[in-house]
Amino acid sequence: MPLSDVNRLDISFTLLTQSGHQLKLSLLIFGIVPFFVTSLLSVIDHIHAQEFELCTTLRMNRWKTLWEVIIVGRLDQVFEVMRQNFAIAWLMITSVEGLSMSEGGLGVMLIKANKYVQLDVVFGTLVIIFILGILFDYLLGLLRHWLFPYTKLTVRR
């Protein structure tokens, strides 16, 4: 029987990692990195050229400019990117746990319940995933406003 792309990915990662936990983490990171990197590049790409010119007129060197405009200046947006990626990771975790079942977890519960047509368990698990996702997102939102108080001044309420 020919191998699917997912099988190939699973086998490659299983060979590269030493435990079920490592495998799960590696698959999650593999799935998240493209979203994270493209979102970060978009944040940097949208920086107004005049911010760099301001740094020049304030006689900042390149490192100070990098620190002030890109690192510290965009930390709140990076946090927001992380928050959005956490949501993607949270959705992905069920698929990843389905690929690496040795560690158990909500994804494993969902797949097993589905296999034995325990639709009440499937529904209950989905509700738990949904509520936990909303809760984590809310907590990260609070943390963002606490860490970066200026953020709430610049975003639409």
Partner 1 sequence: MNAYTKHEVLLSAENVGLQYGGKVVLRDVNFTIRDIRRQGINQGQVVSLIGRSGIGKTQLFRILSGLRRPNTGQVKMDEDQHVVQPGEVGIVPQNYILFNHRTIYQNLKIGLDSAGGQLTEAHKRKTIEECAAAFELSEHLKKYPAQLSGGQRQRVSIIQQVLTGNKFILLDEPFSGLDVLMVDRVMQLLLKISTLNEHNTLIIVSHDIENAAAISDMVWVLAPEAGKPGATIVKEYDLCEMELAWTPNIRENMRFVELLADIRRHL
Tell the smallest beta-carbon distance from residue 148 to partner 1 (Å).
7
**What is the binding site for partner 1 (CB under 8 A)?**
48, 50-51, 53-54, 56-60, 68, 72-73, 75-76, 148-150, 153-154
CB atoms within 10 A of CB 93: 19
Using N-to-C axis directions, what is the helix angle for 75-99 and 106-115, rounded to 10°? 40
Tell the smallest beta-carbon distance from residue 143 to partner 1 (Å).
16
CA distance 45 to 40: 9
Helices (H) and strands (E) in the chain, counts: 8, 0
CA distance 35 to 85: 7
Give 58 or 127: the residue with its C-beta nearer to partner 1: 58
Tell the smallest beta-carbon distance from residue 25 to partner 1 (Å).
32
Give 53 or 128: the residue with its C-beta nearer to partner 1: 53
Give 15 or 153: the residue with its C-beta nearer to partner 1: 153
